[in-house]
């Protein structure tokens, strides 16, 4: 079987001592930032991007991926123990996880989350390996029209699924695309929106933008709300779920894994959406919906499996189609570009060891996380006692050094300062920043494919609708817009996305 042959290549790469070390480092760091509220995988990956220059490309990607899915584990730990979601994807885990902790079953809840995540991680790794081939083959049939339509669909879905009104999300996407046009136009070689500043000729780098918005501005916001942590300092004993627990959590894990695997692939999907969807599903299917919110184990098992599955399968559109489905994946595009790898169907054929090595490393990483998390829960919880006033200067330091290291120049540092103010304005206006970053990353490719498609059709825009694939993708985007503007669905979406 091809699949096993490929996985064998992957495991051979992932098992190299250096790669194992970086996978471990990524998972450790991911858990750490997952535990710490106010610091997400996004800012961390942005911070570490410039530093990965020095690494081999496969080691760099393996580490960054580890941070992303490691954060899913860490986030659930604090959600359960202190009712504080370390990550937005573990928001729903606080509902029943914390209730279980209050009933003295914190250990069981943590074990459920870890086992669910591990199981989901294994399934998602297999799904990733199995789907990669067929999807890559499909992508190779795509021309400029189809890629244009696919990216439009991705951006629309991402705005539909972001918080706040849909139209404002789309506005942020378009604004991001406009910002992406800064720099040299590849077709004509002329400078656009650079105003004679040489550092802008290569375009607005997204790392200073991401750090300004998700690093610095976020700190200003966090400092405004002085919420004192009230730790439930109880000894965590009895990690093992009972037979009855197992009977209830296994079906929830299976459903959560399936749902997360599917929703992760969807453009705009990923860990957050998967966990919310899974919680809703479990509550709907349960024979005891009244137990939800009072420590139902399904409410932990389902979403925790779903968010980890979703986090991993969101790599599928990135690695096969070259389309990042969420902001973290958009940063992975940046990481790949640093090493001169262009995400898309060619990755699998041109860099098979990197491609399969990354996939295999996810399974290895999940195993590490299982070992890392359960025995060390106490240590992670202790970390929460570090006051924010010592933590945020550390974030400032790492962000600033990271921004400087992009080009070993201070221009990017000032750029990040500007985007700090801009990001703070966005927070105050409650405008979502994630669609902006996606627009920024996808903008150049959209323009390129749009222009090529128009050249091929001699300027006839209806050509976009005559190819069945692009017409289908654009129709799906139109349906998504129609659905979101229907009043009943709009109300339910607001309910679901409310945090």
Chain residues in the site for other proteins (CB under 8 A): 51, 54, 165, 167-168, 170-171, 174-175, 177-178, 181, 185, 187-188, 190, 192-193, 216, 219-220, 223-224, 226, 387-390, 392-394, 396-397, 400-401, 404-405, 408, 410, 413-414, 416-417, 420-421, 424-425, 428-431, 447, 450-451, 454-455, 457-461
Both structure tokens of 42: 């996004």
Q: Distance between CA 149 and CA 158 in Å, rounded? A: 14
Q: Distance between CA 399 and CA 48 in Å, rounded? A: 8
Closest CB to other proteins among 197 and 396? 396
Closest CB to other proteins among 112 and 159? 159
Both structure tokens of 190: 């002329």
Least separation in angstroms between residue 486's CB and other proteins is 16
Closest CB to other proteins among 192 and 294? 192
Least separation in angstroms between residue 408's CB and other proteins is 6
Least separation in angstroms between residue 233's CB and other proteins is 21
Least separation in angstroms between residue 102's CB and other proteins is 29
Q: Name the DSSP class of 241.
A: P
Q: Distance between CA 155 and CA 323 in Å, rounded? A: 10
Closest CB to other proteins among 228 and 287? 228
Per DSSP, the residues of 326-352 read SHHHHHHHHHHHHTT---STHHHHH-H
Least separation in angstroms between residue 108's CB and other proteins is 36
* Residues sharing a CB contact under 8 Å with residue 176, sequence separation 6 or more, in sequence order: 435, 436, 437, 438, 439, 440, 441, 443
Question: 23, 14 in Cβ contact below 8 A?
Answer: yes
Closest CB to other proteins among 277 and 434? 434
Other beta carbons within 10 angstroms of residue 53's beta carbon come to: 11
Task: Name the nearest CA neighbour of 42 among 348, 311, 345.
Answer: 311
Residue recorded with tokens 């190779």? 140
Least separation in angstroms between residue 411's CB and other proteins is 8
Question: 127, 261 in Cβ contact below 8 A?
Answer: yes
Least separation in angstroms between residue 66's CB and other proteins is 17
Other beta carbons within 10 angstroms of residue 470's beta carbon come to: 24
Helix axes of 298-313 and 271-285: crossing angle, nearest 10 degrees:
150
Task: Name the nearest CA neighbour of 433 among 419, 449, 412, 445.
Answer: 419
Closest CB to other proteins among 167 and 489? 167
Closest CB to other proteins among 380 and 450? 450
Q: Distance between CA 491 and CA 300 in Å, rounded? A: 25
Least separation in angstroms between residue 53's CB and other proteins is 9
Closest CB to other proteins among 152 and 306? 152
Closest CB to other proteins among 48 and 331? 48
Per DSSP, the residues of 131-192 read HHHHHHHHHHT--HHHHHHHHHHHHHHHHHHSSS-HHHHHHHHHHHHHHHT-EE-TTT--EE
Cα 47 to the center of its chain, rounded Å? 15
Closest CB to other proteins among 171 and 352? 171
Please calculate the CA angle 57-58-64 and round it to the nearest 5 degrees.
Answer: 90
| 191 φ/ψ angles, rounded to the nearest 5 degrees | -85, 135
Least separation in angstroms between residue 410's CB and other proteins is 4
Least separation in angstroms between residue 27's CB and other proteins is 18
Q: Distance between CA 195 and CA 175 in Å, rounded? A: 18
| Alpha-carbon distances of 62 from 9, 26, 224, 279, rounded to whole Å | 15, 8, 36, 30
Closest CB to other proteins among 17 and 459? 459
Closest CB to other proteins among 288 and 382? 382
Least separation in angstroms between residue 397's CB and other proteins is 5
Least separation in angstroms between residue 129's CB and other proteins is 32
Least separation in angstroms between residue 479's CB and other proteins is 20
Q: Distance between CA 44 and CA 402 in Å, rounded? A: 10
Closest CB to other proteins among 202 and 460? 460
């Amino acid at each position: 079987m091809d699949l096993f042959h490929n996985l064998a290549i992957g495991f051979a790469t992932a098992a190299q001592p250096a790669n194992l070390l970086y996978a471990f480092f990524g998972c450790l760091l991911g858990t750490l930032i997952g535990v710490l509220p106010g610091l997400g995988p996004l800012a961390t990956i942005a911070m570490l991007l410039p530093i990965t220059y020095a690494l081999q490309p496969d080691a760099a990607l393996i580490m960054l991926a580890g941070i992303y899915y490691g954060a899913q584990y860490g986030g659930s730990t604090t959600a359960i123990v202190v009712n504080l979601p370390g990550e937005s994807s573990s928001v729903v885990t606080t509902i029943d996880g914390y209730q279980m902790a209050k009933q003295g079953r914190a250990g069981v809840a943590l074990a459920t989350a870890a086992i669910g995540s591990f199981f989901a991680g294994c399934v998602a790794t297999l799904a990733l390996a199995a789907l990669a081939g067929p999807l890559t083959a499909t992508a190779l049939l795509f021309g400029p029209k189809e890629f244009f339509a696919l990216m439009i669909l991705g951006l629309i879905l991402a705005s539909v699924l972001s918080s706040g009104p849909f139209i404002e999300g789309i506005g942020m996407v378009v604004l991001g695309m406009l910002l992406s046009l800064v720099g040299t136009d590849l077709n004509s070689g002329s400078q656009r929106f650079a105003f004679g500043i040489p550092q802008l000729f290569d375009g607005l780098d997204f790392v200073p933008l991401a750090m300004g918005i998700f690093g610095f501005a976020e700190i200003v916001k966090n400092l405004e709300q002085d919420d004192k942590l009230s730790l439930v300092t109880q000894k965590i004993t009895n990690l093992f779920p009972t037979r009855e627990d197992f009977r209830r959590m296994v079906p929830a894990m299976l459903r959560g894994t399936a749902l997360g695997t599917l929703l992760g692939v969807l453009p705009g999907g990923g860990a957050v959406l998967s966990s919310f969807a899974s919680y809703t599903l479990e509550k709907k299917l349960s024979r005891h919906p009244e137990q939800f919110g009072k420590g139902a184990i399904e409410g932990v098992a389902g979403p925790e499996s779903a968010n980890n599955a979703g986090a991993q399968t969101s790599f599928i559109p990135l690695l096969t189609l070259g389309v990042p489905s969420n902001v973290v994946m958009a940063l992975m595009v940046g990481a790949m570009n640093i090493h001169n790898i262009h995400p898309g169907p060619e990755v699998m054929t041109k860099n098979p060891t990197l491609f399969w090595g990354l996939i295999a490393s996810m399974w290895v990483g999940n195993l590490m996380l299982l070992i890392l998390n359960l025995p060390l829960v106490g240590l992670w919880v202790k970390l929460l006692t570090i006051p924010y006033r010592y933590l945020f200067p550390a974030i400032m330091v790492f962000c600033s050094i990271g921004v400087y290291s992009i080009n070993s120049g201070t221009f990017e540092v000032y750029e990040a300062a500007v985007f700090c103010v801009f990001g703070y304005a966005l927070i105050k206006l409650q405008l979502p920043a994630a669609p902006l970053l996606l627009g920024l990353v996808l903008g150049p490719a959209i323009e390129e494919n749009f222009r090529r498609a128009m050249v091929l059709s001699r300027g006839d825009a209806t050509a976009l609708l005559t190819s069945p694939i692009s017409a289908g993708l654009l129709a799906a985007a139109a349906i998504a817009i129609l659905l979101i503007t229907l009043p009943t669905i709009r109300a339910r979406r607001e309910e679901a996305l409310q945090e």
